[in-house]
């Protein structure tokens, strides 16, 4: 991409390395699956406006997880409701009976019906026999209705030990767990509830993944997006434990574990169909200011896809994450000695060595700046984006900080795009996702106390 094209993207607040739709509003990633040689990304989408509206499922695909091809809308609202979040599974044995000559992809999603001033949420199905290009809704929808107004975001996976499908769904501050032989008939198995949420806090978008550490320790990790009704506390939380096909048993310490210390990673979901690794994408936004972002006919983007892994640390088992390997083919990677690097537009990957244990990093133009302060000895990182353009309120401008475990690799990796900075410690223990909307492109990165 040449300078003119990069400037055009910057002026339109269009990310280069992160997925955004051609028009309209997007939020949660849905139905992530690798199938037929493509990574499929479905997502919450309102094509007729740039604020949250009647939800559809948008659709994009990629062979490399970064160069996305936007496809026609996959699911439209109907008389049973709008199309909220969910997942897609490959029903290889056609347990659902929805396939004919071809095993189907089955979408399991929440429908949100608002009628006579009342809200009702239930789970429905749609299926595809052409590799996810088109879907037909199941005639028997909904397949799971508890008569609740907050019952959403199903995540489904096959559990081979019991030869059953497992579903997790969020109900206020709890996760309900169900099982099924055929994706159409569901049995309630258990409820996971911690009791540590405040009255106005809820869980959304649950996920449950099996990890194995380098030392051979195998654990299940429950991932949830946690939010407050006033959006002042929002993020992705996780729990390490066991799962027996019916119930999840938490084994963490009493410490609350967050996947990302930044403001802009929510509703994170993992891909089905990938062997040997767990890849996650989140909505790069925060409900506190999501509908205030600068827009030119579209609004919203996704995080860089990340590989998750389980780490054995002195503090216990923790999730680590780094950008997927495929991304490296598309990003310029920059390194130089301590000092200043100037470019027409700061874009790409920047690997910074913090030799003396602490460093300050400043991304800037003549009038604006984005600041990072990290100290590996005192174990903290602080991010300040209060002086880089658009002021979208206190939740956007407040300084964010995180304490962390010391890594042997005293490095941080920055992924810088036209509207975002993603921060990773090179050991993967810490990640932070931050949007910014400067009036002018950042052209300078200055490092003090480290090596760029």
Catalytically active residues are 28
β partners of residue 170: 152, 175
Three-state DSSP state, 419: coil
User: pLDDT per residue over 306-326, tens digit each?
Assistant: 999 999 988 899 999 999 999
Residue 187 token pair:
């049995």
User: pLDDT per residue over 273-304, tens digit each?
Assistant: 999 999 999 999 999 999 999 999 999 999 99
Q: Residue 408: its pLDDT value, please?
A: 63
Give the mean pLDDT of the chain. 93
CA dihedral 401, 404, 408, 413 (to 10 degrees): -40
Q: How many other CB atoms are found less than 10 A from the CB of residue 203?
A: 23
Q: Residue 397: its pLDDT value, please?
A: 83
Q: What letter does residue 293 receive in the DSSP assignment? A: S
357 vs 168, which has greater pLDDT?
168
C-beta separation of 412 from 350 below 8 A: no
Q: Closest by alpha carbon to 269, among 39, 112, 445? A: 39
Q: Residue 232: its pLDDT value, please?
A: 73
Q: Residue 337: its pLDDT value, please?
A: 60
Residue whose tokens read 């948008």: 58
* Average pLDDT, integer, range 249-262: 90
C-beta separation of 415 from 264 below 8 A: no
pLDDT at residue 406 above 70? Answer: no
Residue 282 token pair:
């989140």
Q: Residue 19: its pLDDT value, please?
A: 98
Domain 331-448 fold is Jelly Rolls (2.60.120)
85 vs 376, which has greater pLDDT?
85
Please report which confidence band the pLDDT of residue 114 belongs to, taking 50, 70 and 90 as the band edges.
Answer: very high
User: pLDDT per residue over 174-232, tens digit each?
Assistant: 999 999 999 999 999 999 999 888 888 999 999 999 999 999 999 999 999 999 887 77
Give percent helix, percent strand, percent coil of the chain, each to the nearest 5: 5, 50, 45
Residues 413, 417, 421: CA angle, nearest 5 degrees:
50
- Burial class of residue 447 in the structure, from the number of CB atoms within 10 Å of its CB (0-12 exposed, 13-18 middle, 19+ buried): buried
Residue 309 CA, chain-centre distance (Å), reads: 15
Give CA–CA dist 240/252, Å, rounded.
Answer: 6
Domain residue limits, the chain:
22-323, 331-448
Q: Residue 64: its pLDDT value, please?
A: 94
Please report which confidence band the pLDDT of residue 99 belongs to, taking 50, 70 and 90 as the band edges.
Answer: very high
Q: Closest by alpha carbon to 415, among 401, 398, 434, 400? A: 434
For 91, residues 6+ apart whose C-beta sits below 8 A from its C-beta are: 98, 99, 103, 104, 105, 106, 127, 183
Q: Do domains 22-323 and 331-448 have the same CATH topology?
A: no
Please report which confidence band the pLDDT of residue 358 belongs to, taking 50, 70 and 90 as the band edges.
Answer: confident
User: pLDDT per residue over 14-25, tens digit each?
Assistant: 999 999 999 999
pLDDT at residue 452 above 80? Answer: no
pLDDT at residue 264 above 60? Answer: yes
β partners of residue 235: 226
User: Strand order of the sheet with strand 278-283?
Assistant: 266-270, 278-283, 306-313, 316-323
Q: What letter does residue 114 receive in the DSSP assignment? A: E
Q: Residue 315: its pLDDT value, please?
A: 85
Which of 120-124, 192-196, 391-395 has maximum average pLDDT? 120-124
Give CA–CA dist 259/281, Å, rounded.
Answer: 12
Q: Residue 4: its pLDDT value, please?
A: 78
Domain 22-323 fold is Tachylectin-2; Chain A (2.115.10)
Q: Residue 450: its pLDDT value, please?
A: 63
Give CA–CA dist 424/300, Å, rounded.
Answer: 22
Percent of the chain at pLDDT above 90? Answer: 79
* Average pLDDT, integer, range 26-42: 99
Phi, psi at 183, each rounded to 5°: 70, -5
Long-range contacts of 67-76 (CB under 8 A, 24+ apart): 67/330, 68/19, 68/41, 70/21, 70/22, 71/133, 73/45, 73/47, 74/31, 74/42, 74/107, 74/132, 74/134, 74/135, 75/42, 75/107, 75/109, 75/126, 75/135, 75/137
């Amino acid at each position: 991409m040449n300078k003119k094209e990069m400037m055009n993207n910057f002026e339109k607040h269009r990310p280069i390395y992160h997925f955004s739709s051609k028009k309209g509003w997007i939020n949660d990633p849905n139905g992530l699956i690798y199938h037929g040689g493509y990574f499929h990304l479905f997502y919450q989408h309102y094509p007729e406006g740039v604020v949250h509206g009647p939800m559809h499922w948008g659709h994009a695909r990629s062979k490399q997880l970064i160069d996305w091809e936007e496809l026609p809308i996959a699911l439209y609202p109907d008389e049973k409701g709008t199309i909220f979040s969910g997942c897609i599974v490959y029903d290889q044995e056609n347990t659902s009976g929805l396939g004919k000559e071809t095993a189907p992809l089955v979408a399991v999603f929440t429908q949100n019906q608002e009628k006579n001033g009342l809200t009702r949420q239930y789970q429905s199905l749609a299926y595809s026999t052409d590799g996810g290009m088109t879907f037909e809704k199941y005639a028997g929808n909904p397949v799971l209705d508890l008569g609740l107004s907050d019952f959403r975001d199903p995540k489904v996976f096959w559990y081979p030990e019991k030869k059953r499908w497992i579903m997790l769904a969020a109900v206020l501050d709890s996760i309900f767990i169900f099982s099924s032989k055929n994706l159409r008939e569901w049995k309630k198995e258990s409820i996971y509830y911690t009791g540590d949420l405040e009255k106005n806090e809820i869980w959304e978008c649950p996920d449950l993944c099996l990890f194995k550490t380098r030392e051979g320790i195998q654990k299940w990790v429950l991932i949830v997006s946690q939010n407050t009704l006033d959006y002042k506390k929002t993020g992705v939380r996780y729990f390490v434990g066991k799962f027996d096909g019916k119930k999840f048993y938490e084994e963490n310490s009493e410490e609350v574990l967050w996947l990302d210390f930044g403001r802009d990673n929510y509703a994170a979901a993992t891909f089905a169909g990938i062997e040997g690794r767990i890849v996650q994408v989140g909505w790069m936004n925060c409900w506190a200011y999501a509908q205030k972002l600068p827009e030119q006919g579209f609004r919203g983007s996704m995080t860089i896809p990340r590989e998750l892994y389980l780490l054995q640390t002195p503090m216990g088992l923790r999730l680590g994450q780094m950008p997927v390997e495929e991304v490296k083919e598309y990003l310029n990677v920059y390194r130089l000695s301590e000092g200043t690097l100037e470019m027409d537009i700061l874009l790409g990957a920047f690997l910074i060595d913090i030799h003396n244990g602490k460093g300050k990093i400043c991304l800037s133009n003549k009038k604006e700046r984005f600041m990072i302060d990290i100290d590996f000895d005192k174990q903290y990182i602080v991010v300040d984006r209060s002086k880089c353009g658009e002021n979208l309120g206190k939740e956007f401008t407040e300084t964010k900080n995180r304490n962390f475990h010391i890594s042997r690799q005293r490095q941080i990796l920055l992924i810088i795009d036209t509207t975002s900075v993603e921060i990773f410690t090179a050991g993967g223990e810490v990640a932070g996702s931050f949007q910014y909307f400067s009036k002018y492109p950042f052209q300078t990165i200055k490092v003090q106390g480290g090596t760029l």
